[in-house]
Amino acid sequence: MTDARYWERIVATDFAPPLDRSLDEMTVELVEMLGDPDPHVRDQLAYAVLSRWIEDGLYDELLTGLGDGMCEGLTVGIGEIGTETVLRRAFSILIVAAALARDNIVRVLHPTTVIRWGDDGLAWYVKERDLRGWVEGQGWAHAVAHGADFIAALAQSRHVDEGGLMVLLDAIGDRLVAPTPYAFTQGEDDRLAYATMTLLHRNLVDMGLLGPWVERLADSWEIASGPIPPAADNTIRYIRALHAQLLLGVRGLPGAADAGHYRESIEVRVELLGALQQALRTVGPWYRPRTR
């Protein structure tokens, strides 16, 4: 059984790794804790310790094995809805994202490793059916938002080229248009938009690819009489969030090591804003028609 007090002491001592146990042994326990229904154990202890130790370089020589193990966790209970298994999947992808973010700094992962993690993570993302954000009594599940963080980390990898970035965009599209009973009410649209902005700041994808991608999303939300399906509403919310972030600009998150990634302007900004605005004009009759 997990001794929460043991890990609380580690957190209280600024995450200093203890000397009484091996890193392998502690990692096994932390990985199990990622699926704990207690949000304190899962989020404030297991995730906090693992992500900090990755950031501090404790896993630099073990990063491949750690990420491979996390990818295995993405398959646990996949397809289930309303069960606790989503917690393990949603927090496993966050650790993969942390490992990718570390590699973007120290550059220790082989290209095949990054591509393998990308394939596993995106396969999980489009298959995941439990999209609950906040789960009463269990805290955050937030699979959509956590998957967006994974995409943002992967989008910065030197091993992902223009074709790989389009695969990420297509995965975002697949996630958005897939039928679901869940509406994005916990910031998922903003997190997905921020991941997209991270991708766009690579300046590798041009409007010849982005234009059809926006059109695909707009075609998915044909508005008819009656209630708007959650997937259509989620997609509209995402396009609005992306439009706002592209208009206002974004920056690296406080304390993150990737601040420099967002300093260069997005070369297709004006053209993409136009495409997003054209799509948004279709969501209601109150918008003025586009003028040339």
Under the banding of pLDDT at 50, 70 and 90, the label for residue 225 is low
The mean predicted confidence, pLDDT, of the chain is 95
For 141-189, write each residue's pLDDT tens digit: 999 999 999 999 999 999 999 999 999 999 999 999 999 999 999 999 9
| CA distance linking residue 120 with residue 70, whole number of Å | 10
Q: What does the pLDDT read at residue 1?
A: 58
3-state secondary structure of 135: strand
Distance between first and last Cα of the chain: 67
For 71-107, write each residue's pLDDT tens digit: 999 999 999 999 999 999 999 999 999 999 999 999 9
Position 275, amino acid:
A
Q: What does the pLDDT read at residue 227?
A: 87
Position 81, amino acid:
I
Q: Which of 271, 138, 128, 110 is nearest to 188 (CA)?
A: 128
Under the banding of pLDDT at 50, 70 and 90, the label for residue 292 is low
Percent of the chain topping pLDDT 90: 90
Is the pLDDT score of 2 beyond 80? no
90 in Cβ contact with 76 (< 8 Å) = no
- Is the pTM for the entire model greater than 0.85? yes
| Beta partners for residue 198, in sequence order | none
Is the pLDDT score of 256 beyond 90? no
Q: Which of 153, 146, 88 is nearest to 117 (CA)?
A: 153
Q: What does the pLDDT read at residue 195?
A: 98
Domain ranges of the chain: 4-160
Is the pLDDT score of 224 beyond 70? no
3-state secondary structure of 260: helix
Mean pLDDT computed over 35-39: 97
Structure-token match 């146990």, residue found: 21
Q: What does the pLDDT read at residue 89?
A: 98
| CA distance linking residue 157 with residue 120, whole number of Å | 16
